[in-house]
Structure formats: C-alpha cells, structure tokens
C-alpha cells in the first residue's frame, strides 16, 4: 500500500475537484483548463490528482492526514484557505481512524538540526510540511511546488522522502499497465470511458 502525503495546494485542488464534480463519481478537472490555461503542466497534475483521489481504494493508496498542510491552512485566514480546511476536515473523516487531523507545531522560524535541517528548502513552511511527511513515513509527497520543493527532489530522496508532481507519480505508478508513451490519465479515461486513441 502506497502512503501518500499531500502538499497544501493539493488539498485546494482536491476541494475544487469535489466542488465542481456535480455528482460525478470521479470528480471534475475541467475547471483547471479555464483557471490555469497558461500552465498545461499544472493542468496535467490536476487531471492526475483527480484520478488518484477517485481510485484511492482500488489502487490501495493510503492517504495520510497531511497534518502540516492542514495546519498551514488553519493558520491562514483567506477565503480559499478557510473553504479548503473545511473540505479537508470532511475528506479526512474517511481516512483510517488513527489518521485523525492533528495540528502540528507550525513555527517556520524554528531551527532544526541534523539531517532534517532542510535549509536548502527556502520556504520555511515547506520545510515543516516535508518534515511531517517524513515523520509519517510517506512513500510520496505530492506537490506542484516548482519553486521550493521539486527542485530538491534528489536531496530529499536521500533524506528518505520522494517528492513528485501528481502526473509524474501517476505515470510511474501505472507504468506496468499502460504503454510507455501513453499519458496515465489518457489511459485511465480510455479504459474507463472509451475516450481517446484506441477507444
């Protein structure tokens, strides 16, 4: 079973997918084409995230409570943060009983020593999220953070945490069942809904 930790923005995207679903079991990612029309990579990540969430049980994914990401939302007062933290509370009710949401100490200025000082990650809040993902022994931290987290994939892997974009992770996860040159989301939609090439 793969243990998955979500970065803060992933919680936001999950909320929007649920809000836009209109009763559709698999969520909806069409909004991403409007909102992020100039960022096809992010749209691809949101498409992948949609199916990662939809097939949590079928693919035996163990979603962790992502407490540091949740805490970052709790400490924010913006409308988007408040709506997302409320939605994540509801979502977390479906997680394993021992995975209840618990705020974590969120002191971005505090210094950590040893292997986990993570000073190479410039955003202090991201350091807290990474430490929490490591503490939860996550197999992957899903993020779209090109600025502070993803550039350090190699160094973070050496510390025991794999960080990946949702689209990259899903392509790797489904690598044994889809063709090498086919996008994972395109494959899922072709198999499920007879959409796309070869349908």
What does the pLDDT look like over 53-83, one tens digit per residue?
Answer: 999 999 999 999 999 999 999 888 889 898 8
96 is written with which tokens?
Answer: 């394993």
pLDDT band per the 50, 70, 90 thresholds, residue 52? very high
Burial pattern 126-140, b for ≥16 Cβ within 10 A else e, equals bbbbbbbbbebebbb
d(CA 144, CA 167): 10
- Is the pTM of the predicted complex or chain greater than 0.85? yes
| Sequence-ordered list of residues with C-beta below 8 angstroms from that of 69, at least 6 positions apart, any chain | 5, 6, 7, 8, 10, 11, 129, 132
Q: At what angle do helices 8-20 and 79-92 cross, to 10 degrees?
A: 80
d(CA 69, CA 63): 13
| Sequence-ordered list of residues with C-beta below 8 angstroms from that of 49, at least 6 positions apart, any chain | 10, 13, 14, 17, 29, 142, 166
What does the pLDDT look like over 116-161, one tens digit per residue?
Answer: 778 899 988 898 899 899 989 999 999 999 999 999 999 999 888 9
Element (H, E) at 5: strand 2-6
d(CA 10, CA 27): 14
């Amino acid at each position: 079973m793969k243990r998955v930790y979500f970065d803060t923005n992933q919680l936001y995207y999950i909320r929007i997918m649920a809000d836009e679903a209109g009763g559709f079991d698999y969520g909806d990612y069409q909004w991403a084409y409007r909102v992020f029309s100039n960022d096809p990579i992010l749209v691809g990540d949101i498409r992948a995230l949609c199916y990662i969430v939809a097939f949590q049980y079928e693919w035996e994914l163990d979603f962790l409570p992502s407490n540091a990401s949740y805490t970052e939302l709790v400490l924010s007062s913006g409308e988007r943060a408040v709506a997302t933290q409320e939605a994540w509370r509801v979502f977390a009710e479906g997680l394993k009983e021992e995975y209840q949401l618990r705020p974590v100490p969120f002191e971005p200025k505090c210094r950590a020593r040893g292997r986990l000082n993570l000073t190479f990650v410039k955003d202090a809040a991201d350091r807290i999220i990474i430490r929490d993902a490591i503490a939860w022994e996550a197999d992957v931290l899903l993020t779209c953070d090109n600025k502070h987290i993803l550039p350090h994939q190699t160094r973070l892997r050496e510390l025991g945490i794999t960080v990946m974009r949702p689209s990259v992770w899903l392509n790797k996860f489904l690598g044994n069942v889809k063709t090498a040159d086919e996008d994972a989301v395109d494959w899922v939609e072709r198999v499920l809904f007879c959409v796309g090439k070869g349908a």
